[in-house]
Amino acid sequence: MSLYLITIGLIFALLLAGIGVDRLYRAFAAKNPRLGPFRKSGEGCGCCAARKECGAADFQP
């Protein structure tokens, strides 16, 4: 039972860490607009040459 609770706690901690990293990235992008626009999640993986392989062929940077 304790392993189950530890696993749930670790998953929750990873979720919170991901949200924290996303907020830090947004804050950094807002403070440094000269580095380019903020990439929103769900709109492609970026502007790489492998668009065909990752399924983001219709993404226009």
Amino acid 29: pLDDT: 87
**In this predicted model, what pLDDT tens digit does every residue of 5-42 receive, in sequence order?**
999 999 999 999 999 999 998 899 889 888 877 666 66
Residue 41's pLDDT is what? 62
What is the C-alpha to C-alpha distance for residues 45 and 33, in angstroms, rounded to an integer?
Answer: 20
Could you tell me the pLDDT band of residue 48, with boundaries at 50, 70 and 90?
low
Q: What DSSP assignment string belongs to 1-61?
A: -HHHHHHHHHHHHHHHHHHHHHHHHHHHHHH-GGG-PPPPTTS-S-S-S-HHHHT-TT---
Q: Is 6 helix (H, G, I), strand (E, B) or coil?
A: helix
